Structure 1
C-alpha cells in the first residue's frame, strides 16, 4: 500500500510503500527520540521516495554519527531517520503520513530502550515500557485553556 507524506509546511513530500495497510508504530527513549516524541513506523530504505524537496531536507547526526535524522530545514519537522541499529530501514514519523492520527490510531505502543542501545548491549534490544493514550472528551482545564 502506497502512502503519501510531508513535513508541516509541505516543502518536503514523499511516498512510502507499505507491505500492508496496518501500521505498527513504536517509540524510543534515547535522547533524540524522547525529545521529538514521534511514533515511528519502519520501512526498507528503498520503499521511501522523496518526491519533492530533497534539497530542503537537512540531516542531523550525533554521538556515534551512525544514525541519520532527516528533517525539513524550513519548518523543522522530523520526517524520517535511518537508525543506528538498522541502517537499511527508514523510521518514518507517522504524523507526517496522510490520514494518520497518532493519538487516535495508536492508543498504545511499545517504547524501546534506546538509552541502552542494542549495539552497546551485546545485540540485545529491550523494551523500556508501553506508552498509552486515553482520550478525555470534553475535558476543560480549570482556567478554560487546554
Structure 2
C-alpha cells in the first residue's frame, strides 16, 4: 500500500489515496467507461481516499442506465477542465464491503510512463454485465 496523489488537468481538484497498484487496475467496455476512457483502481476502506482541495469545483454525474441503482455511483469531474478524477460508490459485497472510490489511474501524479506500463490491468466485459471476464476485443480499451 502506498499513498498516491492525484489531480485534474487544471489543478483545481486534488486528492490523495492509499492504493496498491500492483494489486491491479481495471478497464471496462461498458458505455460509460468506454466513452470516458476510465482506467480505474479501487480504493477501499474508510479514510483511504482524501479530497485535498476542490470540492467546490466538482460536478457529479450519476448514470441512470448503468445497471446500478439510480444515483448509486457518483462520477466526479472538474467543472473547469472536465477531467474525471474519481468516482464514489457503494457495494455491500466483498471486496468492497461498503463505500469505495474508483480513481482514474491517468490522474495520479508523479508516475512515469514505465511505472504506468508496469501496472497490471484486468479487463471487464461491463457491456454484458460480466465483470469477471474480459471482452472478446481489448485493443480499443
Shift of 1:84: 6.3
- 1:41 is aligned to 41
- 2:28 is aligned to 28
Shift of 1:59: 0.6
Shift of 1:37: 1.0
1:1-146 aligned at under 5 Å gives the runs 1-18=2-19, 20=20, 22=22, 24-44=24-44, 46-63=47-64, 64-83=70-89, 88-101=99-112, 105-106=116-117, 109-117=121-129, 125-129=131-135, 131=138
Extract unaligned runs of 5+ from structure 1. Answer: 119-124, 134-146
- 1:138 is aligned to none
Aligned structure 1 segments of 4 or more residues deviating by more than 6 angstroms: none
3-state SS of 1:88 partner:
strand
Shift of 1:91: 0.7
> Deviations for 1:82-134, whole angstroms, at most 9, x for unmatched residues?
2465562111001111123578623662221222336xxxxxx332337469x
Over alpha carbons, which structure has the higher Rg?
A: 1
Shift of 1:31: 0.9
For normalisation by structure 1, the TM-score amounts to: 0.72
Aligned-residue RMSD, C-alpha: 2.7
Aligned length: 126
Extract unaligned runs of 5+ from structure 2. Answer: 65-69
